[in-house]
Structure 1
Amino acid sequence: MSNENIYTHIKDVFIDEDESLNFVNLDNSISCYNKIVLALKKPLKLILFYGKPGSGKTFLLNKIANDLKEDKSLIFFPHPFFSEATFIEALCEQIYGKKLEDINNFESFIKFYSKDFSGKDEILNNQMTVILDEAQLYPTELIEKIRLMADTRMFKFLFTIHKTENEDILAKDYFQTRIWESIELSSADVNEIIIYLQRKLSQKNYDKYLKFDKKDYECAYSFCGGNLRTLNKIMYKFYEICEYYEQYQPSKLSSDKANIMILTMAALDAGLIDA
Structure 2
Amino acid sequence: MSKSEYYHLKNIFLDGGLFDYINLDKSSTAYEKLVQAIDKPLKLILFYGKPGTGKTFLLQKIYNDFKNKKRIIFFPRPYFNEIEFIKALYSKIFDEESPEFNGYDQFLKKIVAKLDPKEEAITVLIDESQLYPDELIEKIRLMADSRRFKFFFTVHKTDEEDVLAKDYFQTRIWESIEIKNLSHKEIQTYIEKKLIFHSKFEYLRLFNTRHFKLITKLTDGNLRTINKLLFKLFEILEYYDTYSPSKVNSETLKTKYILMAGIAQGMIHV
Q: TM-score range by the shorter chain?
A: over 0.9
Report the equivalent of 1:37: 35
Return the alpha-carbon distance in structure 2 between the equivalents of residues 31 and 255 of structure 1: 35
Name the stretch that deviates more: 230-239 or 251-260.
Answer: 251-260
Name the stretch that deviates more: 247-256 or 67-76.
Answer: 247-256
Aligned partner of 2:68 among 67, 70, 75: 70
Q: Does 1:234 align with 2:233?
A: no
Return the alpha-carbon distance in structure 2 between the equivalents of residues 14 and 153 of structure 1: 41
Report the equivalent of 2:246: 251
Deviations 1:214-238 (A, max 9, x none): 1111111111101110110110111
Cα gap change, 1:184/1:43 in structure 2, threshold over 3 Å: closer, same or farther?
A: same
Cα gap change, 1:76/1:67 in structure 2, threshold over 3 Å: closer, same or farther?
A: same
Report the equivalent of 1:7: 6
8 A contact 1:212–1:259 mirrored in 2: no
Query: Which residues of 2 match residues 119-138 of structure 1 at below 5 A?
Result: 123=117, 125-138=119-132
8 A contact 2:203–2:250 mirrored in 1: no
Q: Does 1:85 align with 2:79?
A: no
Report the equivalent of 2:193: 199
Query: Which residues of 2 match residues 181-196 of structure 1 at below 5 A?
Result: 181-196=175-190
Deviations 1:120-179 (A, max 9, x none): xx5363310100111111110110000000000000101111111222111110101221
Task: List gaps (5 residues or longer) in structure 1.
Answer: none
Deviation for aligned residue 1:116: 3.1
Report the equivalent of 1:161: 155
- Count of aligned pairs between the two proteins: 269
Name the stretch that deviates more: 141-150 or 23-32.
Answer: 23-32
Deviations 1:187-241 (A, max 9, x none): 1111111001111111101142241111111111111101110110110111111
Q: Percent identity?
A: 48
8 A contact 1:73–1:128 mirrored in 2: yes
Return the alpha-carbon distance in structure 1 between the equivalents of residues 211 and 258 of structure 2: 8
8 A contact 1:252–1:258 mirrored in 2: no
Deviations 1:32-66 (A, max 9, x none): 11111011011110011111111111111111111
Q: Does 1:106 align with 2:101?
A: no
Deviation for aligned residue 1:97: 2.0
8 A contact 1:80–1:133 mirrored in 2: yes
Q: Which amino acid aligns with 1:14?
A: F
8 A contact 2:88–2:98 mirrored in 1: no
Task: List gaps (5 residues or longer) in structure 2.
Answer: none
Q: Which amino acid aligns with 2:135?
A: E
Name the stretch that deviates more: 59-68 or 232-241.
Answer: 59-68
Give the RMSD, CA atoms, in angstroms.
1.9
Return the alpha-carbon distance in structure 2 between the equivalents of residues 264 and 49 of structure 1: 33
8 A contact 1:89–1:104 mirrored in 2: no
Cα gap change, 1:243/1:255 in structure 2, threshold over 3 Å: closer, same or farther?
A: closer
Report the equivalent of 1:146: 140
